Amino acid sequence: MAYYAPMPDTNTDAAPTRGLPGRVKLYAAAILVGLFVVPPLIWLTGRALFGPYANGGLFSLWADFFGEMARGARSAWIVALAPCALVALLQGAVALSRRLR
C-alpha cells in the first residue's frame, strides 16, 4: 500500500484577490460605489426636489458624469472619491478611539 504525504497547495491562480489586503478591497469597493451608486442617488434626489433631469434620464446623467470626469472636472471627481474619503475618516475615527482607550 502506497503512502502519500500531504502536499502544500501551490495553486495561487485560483483566487487572484486572496493576497490583496483588506484595505485595498475596501477602497476598491468605495470607488465602485462612488462611480455607480452615488450618481443614481444624486439623480433620484434631484428628480424628487427639482424635477426631471434636463439632459435626459439616469443614463444621460452617467454619460455626463463620466464625460466631466474625463475632462477633469473637480465636482465629478469629488463625487466619485467621496466614499473613499468617508472610509478614511471612519478608519481614522476608529483608530483614534482605540488609541484614547
The grid coordinates of residue 5 equal 504525504
At 29-85, the pLDDT tens digits run 999 999 999 999 999 999 999 999 999 999 999 999 999 999 999 999 999 999 999
Nearest CA to 40 out of 56, 55, 62 is that of: 62
At 10-37, the pLDDT tens digits run 655 555 556 678 889 999 999 999 999 9
Kindly report the number of other CB atoms within 10 A of residue 80's CB atom. Answer: 22
Q: Which amino acid is present at 55?
A: N
pTM of the model: 0.75
The 8-class DSSP code of residue 37 comes to T
